[in-house]
Amino acid sequence: MPKPGEHKTVQARILAYAEEIGWTFVSRAEAERRRHFNQSAPSPSAAAHVASLYFEDLLYEKVREFNQEYRAITGWQVGDIHTFPDNPATTLPSVMEVRETTPAYHATPGALISELQRLQNNIYGNRDMHRYLCNEATYYSAEEKRELNLNLIDYDNPEANVYEVTEEYTISNGRYSIREDVVFLINGIPVLVIECKNANKDEAIALGIDQIRRYHAETPEIFVPEMIYSVTEAIGFSYGATWNTIRRNIFNWKDEEIGNLEAKIKTFCSIPHILALIKQYILFAEKDEELQKFILRQHQTSAVEKVVERCLEPTKQRGLVWHTQGSGKTFTMIKAADLLFRAADANKPTIILMIDRNELEDHILRNLAMLGLQNVEHANKINRLIELLRNDYRGIIVTMIHKFNDMPANICERSNVYVLIDEAHRTTGGDLGTYLFAGLPNATMIGFTGTPIDKTAHGKGTFKTFGLNDPKGYLDKYSISDSIIDKTTLPLFYNLAPNELLANPELMEKEFWSLAETEGVSDISELNRILERAVNLKNFLKADERVDKVAKYVADHFVRNVEPLGYKAFLVGVDRPACAKYKLALDKYLPAEYSAVVYTGNNNDTKELKAYHLDKKAEKQIRKNFPKFGIQPKILIVTEKLLTGYDAPILYAMYLDKPMRDHTLLQAIARVNRPYENEAEEMVKPHGFVLDFVGIFDKLEKALAFDSDEVNAIVKDIALLKGLFKLKMEKKVPQYLALIHHNFTDKDVDGLIEHFRDKDRRKEFFREYKEIEMLYEIISPDAFLRPYLEDYATLSAIYSVVRKAYAKKIMIDRAFQRKTNELVQQYVDIGYIEPIQEFIEINAETIELIKNNDNGDSTRIINLIKSIQTIAKDESDDPFLIAMSERARMVQERYEDRQTSTAEALSELFDEINKNEERKKEQSEKGFDGLTFFVYRALLDAGVEDAEEASIQIKQAFIEYPNWRTSESELREVRNNVTFAIYAKIDNLDEVAAIVDELFSLLTKAYEIDK
């Protein structure tokens, strides 16, 4: 029985649920009419190309309704509608130029649409469109003689907007055509697209996201107005901001009912939520000197809303936002400040963003500027901060906690002063916190932290300061375990170095663990001061012989375990002299350019330390290069710098040779838990790794004085993974090994292909294998694996056979196959795996060759299909072969779904080969190229008399306009010539138009297959 398609199982249900929450369904036909599909266009693809992205009449109607002065605009024409206050050069000619040179001219819908269509087809155009959607663009009012905001959406009166949803939203730009499954429009503007997949497909969500990526590359026009995308197969629901399809920025929408598509649609697609996302929770910011787009996640929007609510609550003045490291606290703070500043109930407030590091201060200032916030002041000096507060400044102030040193008491007694404090677990301790609270006695203080101080020598710490108004001690929490489940951070695995390299346990106990002041230390510089007294321990760690052994071990481990994966590493020394020593030692075992030292220099440093001093420019370049794939350095040697705040997702391994605990430890190891994706290299980082040389993780409960559930979520001992690997190899793997009966001969390959023809069986095997493979790659190299190597290699060879035979191209973690591939080559004769990739030339002898092949029928089918697809790809200018490839793919789908038997599938493929041979013979006799013959056959099938003569005339048109596939004007000329050539044979214009439409529809399908 055929399985239901994606429309029946997913798309239609989404449309129904959307209607139930207030979206009006617009049929595809009605949507195309309203988008002005050119019904007289020569083909559907051409009609789609000239179609608008918008429901133009509705959009213009709403613009006139929401902007009363807009009705009387004069002196206005195309190119003179809107400007942005911070970037007036975005429209040409300027308002003044047109007003001075153009007589009275009433605005038209076409002019407005033309202006929107002139936006760049990239992230910059999307940013400008977002400003339009947020009503930040302007138009000139001749009546008032000034610029007024242009309102496209009424956020104050949501019921005044028109909310519509449609399906099969076709876009064509003359080269590529796409069809989006479900599109949501507000006032005629498409803002959200949902890509629907069938849950029966392997990796359905991944395939859908890959499709969204392809749409961005091929038809970027549609993603100028569209702000949000999502992908679902009725179980999962992933979403992200358009122009950002990096895996770590694609999130799962969480609802209490797992797998409930109705609940997900009715929460995510609710009208208030979509309006809030567009207006409040989409951000554009510069990162790594490039414009990037972000959408706040659920935990961020929840925290923002709670912070704003708390600040506007007159009876409560404290709150703690406990969001784990790497969960986006900076954007959460910025957006909370933005909404507070805009809130009418805040009554022109003063908002202080309190930062604890200079580099983060600069980062926040840049992002505030990118958001277009006007009232922002940088209090970079104590006197400047005092001046702003005394003069009753209303707006956002960015400063650091030490600027409150000796701050006068009661300098600002207003209650609408809101202080948002980053890293609150350390910034408000001691006298500086006292000055802050005394200087702003009526202010609301909101602390943000990833590691609140609790259960330490300092007592309740952060909870005591900020959590008094909340029963649990915090306003909002997003734990480490939450972030790992959401994949916003990665799990961390650790391993202890060999005993002979570990720090002396007696010295560690005496000079580190037993010191109460090490508990709860939240600042690495403070930790360094404590370690200064640990003279014997530091001397042990920096002993020349030990440093050399550790460096040799690190170099070997890096080359064998980290470098082959494409990732990078930190080596953390106990102090700056240790870093200098490690650099010298590492250079003996690795090329010098592999590593670099980053620490703060001092004029009184020794010659050895000065050798690695960096000026600001050199350090900035290292910081910039390290996160990049394939660029030196690969290892950074650090002790304090870069252990907090530095974000390098490519960082995979940390070699830890410095005693740490609690916040300092968590902040340091959090450097390696950032998700990383490199699409070009097909790399997806699955976890972070810490190799411990001081024995910290041997006393994990001591090292991390947090709730045990949090500790267990943070780091996992590789010993646990060994047990899991052993269990899987002994319980799960034997059933797969039993499929090999002939020491992996071609007969085994045939058997595997037939056995895994069932999609569900194949899907289960792929899932099990990927888990086992990841475990192997994490554990390796280790003597523990020795008894399992041969079985694991055989299992990997089975996976290789099945994947090559059946798997679609999905982005996988290719890096984590490299060591496994070496093992397979060592233990398995991979020559036996090749038949499923055997290339068969498609010619007159092919059928006989296939029949005489010793491979089983299943293998013959797979090889034949892949050969047809390969030839079609190589001969990409021959539409007959491309269409043949598509028919072969359909044969494969029916075969895998057991809708056709093996014999029937082979028969269909043989028929295709015979047709191709007949086609080649006839094509050769007539002297036609592939494209002309395709046209000739299409004309014959349409009943055109003298099809050969017409085809010769048409061939000349394709020669004269070789760029017809990429140029709209050339496509138009080719179509005209084709129309005239056929019209000379058929004296019925409607019939000719139908034939031309069908012909170019076939051509479009042929050239778009597998794009």
pLDDT confidence of residue 68: 72
Judge whether 225 and 116 are in contact, CB under 8 Å: yes
Please check the confidence at residue 52 and state whether its pLDDT lies above 60: yes
Structure confidence at residue 484 as a pLDDT band (50, 70, 90): confident
pLDDT confidence of residue 772: 86
Residue-wise pLDDT for 949-993, tens only, equals 887 787 777 777 777 766 666 777 888 888 888 877 787 777 887
Residue-wise pLDDT for 156-211, tens only, equals 999 999 999 999 998 888 778 888 999 999 999 999 999 998 766 657 888 889 89
The two structure tokens encoding residue 262: 């109705």
DSSP bridge pairs for 492: 688, 715
pLDDT confidence of residue 69: 64
Q: Averaged over 225-248, what is the pLDDT?
A: 92
Residues whose CB is less than 8 angstroms from the CB of residue 82 and which lie 6 or more positions away in sequence, other chains included: 91, 115, 132, 137, 138, 139, 150
Judge whether 516 and 457 are in contact, CB under 8 Å: yes
Q: At what angle do helices 857-874 and 902-926 cross, to 10 degrees?
A: 30
Q: Averaged over 7-24, what is the pLDDT?
A: 89
Residues whose CB is less than 8 angstroms from the CB of residue 809 and which lie 6 or more positions away in sequence, other chains included: none
Asked if the peptide bond before residue 93 counts as cis, ω within 30 degrees of 0, the response is yes
Q: Distance between CA atoms of 48 and 41, rounded to whole angstroms?
A: 9
Q: Averaged over 80-108, what is the pLDDT?
A: 38
Judge whether 632 and 672 are in contact, CB under 8 Å: no
pLDDT confidence of residue 379: 87
The two structure tokens encoding residue 347: 């009554």
Please check the confidence at residue 826 and state whether its pLDDT lies above 70: no
Judge whether 688 and 492 are in contact, CB under 8 Å: yes
| Between 238 and 803, residue with greater pLDDT | 238
Q: Distance between CA atoms of 687 and 202, rounded to whole angstroms?
A: 23
Q: Distance between CA atoms of 669 and 572, rounded to whole angstroms?
A: 10
Q: No. of H helices and E strands in the chain?
A: 43, 27
Q: What is the mean pLDDT of the chain?
A: 79
* Least confident range of 48-62, 243-257, 370-384, 933-947: 933-947
Residue-wise pLDDT for 287-301, tens only, equals 767 889 999 999 999
Please check the confidence at residue 850 and state whether its pLDDT lies above 70: no
Q: Distance between CA atoms of 2 and 127, rounded to whole angstroms?
A: 44
| Between 731 and 666, residue with greater pLDDT | 731
Please check the confidence at residue 848 and state whether its pLDDT lies above 60: no
Q: If you ran DSSP here, which 8-state letter would residue 520 be given?
A: T
* Least confident range of 299-308, 724-733, 780-789, 935-944: 935-944
Residue-wise pLDDT for 596-647, tens only, equals 999 999 889 999 999 999 998 999 899 989 999 999 999 999 998 888 778 8
Q: Distance between CA atoms of 727 and 738, rounded to whole angstroms?
A: 17
pLDDT confidence of residue 718: 80
**pTM for the whole structure:** 0.71
Please check the confidence at residue 435 and state whether its pLDDT lies above 70: yes
* Least confident range of 47-56, 598-607, 767-776: 47-56
pLDDT confidence of residue 873: 56
Structure confidence at residue 405 as a pLDDT band (50, 70, 90): confident
Q: If you ran DSSP here, which 8-state letter would residue 150 be given?
A: P
Neighbours of 963 (CB within 10 A): 12
Q: Which one, of 587, 626, 584, lies nearest residue 609 by Cα?
A: 584
Please check the confidence at residue 40 and state whether its pLDDT lies above 70: no
pLDDT confidence of residue 619: 92
Judge whether 18 and 184 are in contact, CB under 8 Å: yes
Residue-wise pLDDT for 560-609, tens only, equals 888 888 899 999 999 999 999 999 999 999 999 999 999 999 889 999 99
Share of the chain above pLDDT 70, in %: 73
pLDDT confidence of residue 302: 94
Q: Distance between CA atoms of 166 and 21, rounded to whole angstroms?
A: 15
pLDDT confidence of residue 100: 36
Please check the confidence at residue 856 and state whether its pLDDT lies above 50: yes
Q: Averaged over 647-665, what is the pLDDT?
A: 89
pLDDT confidence of residue 317: 87
Structure confidence at residue 137 as a pLDDT band (50, 70, 90): confident
Q: Averaged over 109-125, what is the pLDDT?
A: 82
Residue-wise pLDDT for 542-561, tens only, equals 999 999 999 999 999 999 88
pLDDT confidence of residue 974: 80
Structure confidence at residue 267 as a pLDDT band (50, 70, 90): very high
Element (H, E) at 899: none
Judge whether 437 and 445 are in contact, CB under 8 Å: yes
Question: Mean pLDDT: which of 245-249, 270-274, 426-430, 598-602 is highest?
Answer: 270-274
